[in-house]
Amino acid sequence: MSKESPILKVTFQMDFNDFYNFNMHVSKEMIDKSKKKVTIFGAVEIVLAVVFLVLNFTSQANSSLNLVLAVALLCMGLFSVLFYPAFFERQLSKAVKKTFDQNEYFHNDVTLEFLEDKIFETSCVGTGSVAYKDLQKVYRLGDCLILRMSKEGGYVLPLKAIGEEKIDQIEELVHRKMDEAELEEAEELDREADELTAREEEEPGDPLSERNGEQ
């Protein structure tokens, strides 16, 4: 357990829908970028397939090779266009559900203690902590408060399990602590810059350079 009294403390269990929505949310940017590329590539393949088909049927010398190539391009193009809506999202959903079902962490209580400089976690898999300065951002997602630690991970605090009032308190506290940590980091950088400047001013000049200057 933590050694100091927490400012706030919550205990909750992860809900699958919240877990799923969070995973889809963090994957959205990557998915959208890849989806756009694959869809464009598929559209180009379909256009080329149509061109080959038209040329093959309008040409006097029909080529079975061109026909096979056109059909192959058409199939690949349709697969590329339909891959994300028809296959990828379904597979991602299955993968998320499998992860949730097989991970003991999501089926037991998680306790978060909000201390002065960090968040202390206790769960069935052990204990851990994250400093406020290491959080990337805090925001609402549906009925959850997200404490984002990285591009892929973070704490998902469910409103229905914690309550609106406590969620509001946590959100305000974490925002304030993140601002304080950012200010402290900026002040530390300023101090280091001042110390470096002071050391450079105190260092004696190069005697050889000074003699050359006198000459």
Contacts of 175 (CB under 8 A, 6+ apart): 138
In Å, the largest CA–CA distance within the chain is 92
Alpha-carbon radius of gyration of the chain:
29
**pLDDT score for 1:** 46
**pLDDT score for 85:** 67
**pLDDT score for 153:** 80
* Residue 81 to residue 32: CA distance in whole angstroms: 13
Per-residue pLDDT of the chain (215 residues), as tens digits, is 446 799 999 999 989 999 999 988 887 766 766 777 777 777 877 787 787 777 777 766 666 776 777 778 778 777 777 766 667 777 888 889 999 999 999 999 999 999 999 999 999 999 999 999 999 899 999 899 999 987 668 899 999 989 999 999 999 999 999 999 888 888 888 788 877 877 777 766 555 445 455 54
- From the list 26, 28, 30, 29, the residue with the least C-alpha distance to 154 is 26
Q: Are 92 and 60 in contact (CB under 8 A)?
A: no
**pLDDT score for 2:** 45
* Residue 121 to residue 115: CA distance in whole angstroms: 11
**pLDDT score for 108:** 95
Strands 126-131 and 137-141: unpaired
- From the list 52, 151, 38, 50, the residue with the least C-alpha distance to 88 is 38
Q: Are 127 and 14 in contact (CB under 8 A)?
A: no
- Which residue matches tokens 């010398």? 61
**pLDDT score for 51:** 77
* Residue 101 to residue 108: CA distance in whole angstroms: 12
Say whether 53 sits in a helix, a strand or coil. helix
End-to-end CA distance of the chain: 71
**pLDDT score for 155:** 92
